[in-house]
Amino acid sequence: MEYVLHPRSEIDARIRKLQDRMGDLTGAILFESTDLGYFSGTAQDGLIYIPRDGLPSLMIRKSLERARQESPLSVQPHRSLKTLKKDLDLPAGAKIGLETDVLPYNNYARLSKALGEDVQFSDISENIKHIRSVKSDFEIRLIREAARILDTGIATVADHLREGMREIDLAVVVESTMRLMGHQGKVTFRRFNQSLPMGHLMAGAAAAFPSFVSSPTGGKGMSIFFSQGPGFARIKRGESVLVDYAGCYNGYIADETRIFCLGKLPAKLEEAHQAALEIEEAIAGQLCPGRASREIWSLCEAEGARMGYQDFLGGPPGSKAGFVGHGVGLQIDEYPVIGPVDHEIAQNMTIAVEPKMIYPGEGVVGIEDTFLVGANGAERLTRLPQEIWQV
């Protein structure tokens, strides 16, 4: 384990990429903690102003002292929005990019009032998400370590799975293992009103229990206010145990799912699991630079239909996930989305592919692995055996 800080070269490269995408903007003001950390090297409370031309201004409210230890940039105190226009030396009629996909309206309104009516705002979040979708060598090293932590955590299930134990008891084993290896204990979404425990560990029908979360599976969870993930259900012999976790190391995420069972699953579920493995293999073969997400999604849907699983792949009709893969990095819902959208696959993207067969009232089988897109194909970073783990 180590506490990793970002080198100046890494931060400078990220800032240049955003500046190259600014068009006619004067600059961008970023508040969201993950974006702030990505472009400055610290996620302390404050903002970073990145002009289209010139050096950034990093202004921190709390903790200023810590931000100066973490960021390679010059750090100034953030005194007040009222003086921000003067502090940043913004010209009259400035055009400013904001993360309007995540910036709360009250914050937007206060900023607008402080900067004045002559300042124009536009959304720069799409540019940020596309920049973050392609990882540097620095980021890939951290994601590889996240995958190693994840493999180790999930593998502990084989040694601790017992008939009659509660889902939450088994989840504690997986999660404590990963925490002791450096997992931060938190998995972040960018999407509004989305959150995630460290993962989903559910057995039998509980794994197929519907929930709000943007995932093929939900689970009942432990309360109506966190209605997903492991709950108090007791694990039985002959039912599938879904173990779907995000490993994390110094903020960076890898995603993986494996299926466990005490004894043997019904033949129907074993066959469905094998179909999911074949679909993942087909998708992985298409993760090459220049391919379109929409094309890969169509291939997935066609393969599912060809094998007779169109009513189970990604969820039952009316509750389908609407995607079969997603980017991972500092957040678990990064670009690209492997779904009916026009995202282009590029080298050094890290993508979780997750074809899962969901049978309401019975259980879930399937697979998920994190892949690194290379120049000539994809490398699987999560390395556990993919077959059903019989205990």
- For 323-354, b/e burial (b = at least 16 CB within 10 A) is bbbbbbbbbbbbbbbbbeeebebbebbbbbbb
Domain boundary among 131, 160, 178: 131
Q: Tell me what pLDDT residue 279 has.
A: 98
pLDDT in tens, 74-131: 999 999 999 999 999 999 999 999 999 999 999 999 999 999 999 999 999 999 999 9
* One domain for residues 105 and 148: no
User: Residue 1 pLDDT more than 80?
Assistant: no
> Cis omega before residue 336 (within 30°)?
yes
* One domain for residues 94 and 195: no
Q: Tell me what pLDDT residue 87 has.
A: 96
User: Residue 57 pLDDT more than 80?
Assistant: yes
* One domain for residues 144 and 209: yes
Q: Is residue 166 situated within a structural domain?
A: yes
* One domain for residues 148 and 261: yes
Q: How many CA atoms lie within 13 A of 370 on its CB side?
A: 31
pLDDT in tens, 359-372: 999 999 999 999 99
pLDDT in tens, 160-175: 999 999 999 999 999 9
Domain boundary among 80, 100, 131: 131
Q: Tell me what pLDDT residue 268 has.
A: 97
Domain boundary among 82, 110, 131: 131
* One domain for residues 280 and 313: yes
Q: Is residue 297 situated within a structural domain?
A: yes
Q: What number is the average pLDDT over the span 313-319? A: 90
* One domain for residues 123 and 171: no
State the DSSP code for 4: P
Number of domains, the chain: 2
Q: Is residue 2 situated within a structural domain?
A: no
Distance CA 20, CA 158 (A): 49
Q: Tell me what pLDDT residue 210 has.
A: 87
* One domain for residues 299 and 153: yes
**pLDDT grade, residue 213 (50/70/90)?**
confident
Q: Tell me what pLDDT residue 222 has.
A: 92
Q: Tell me what pLDDT residue 214 has.
A: 84
State the DSSP code for 368: B
Q: Tell me what pLDDT residue 164 has.
A: 98
| Mean predicted lDDT score pLDDT of the chain | 96
The range of the structural domain enclosing residue 334 comes to 134-390
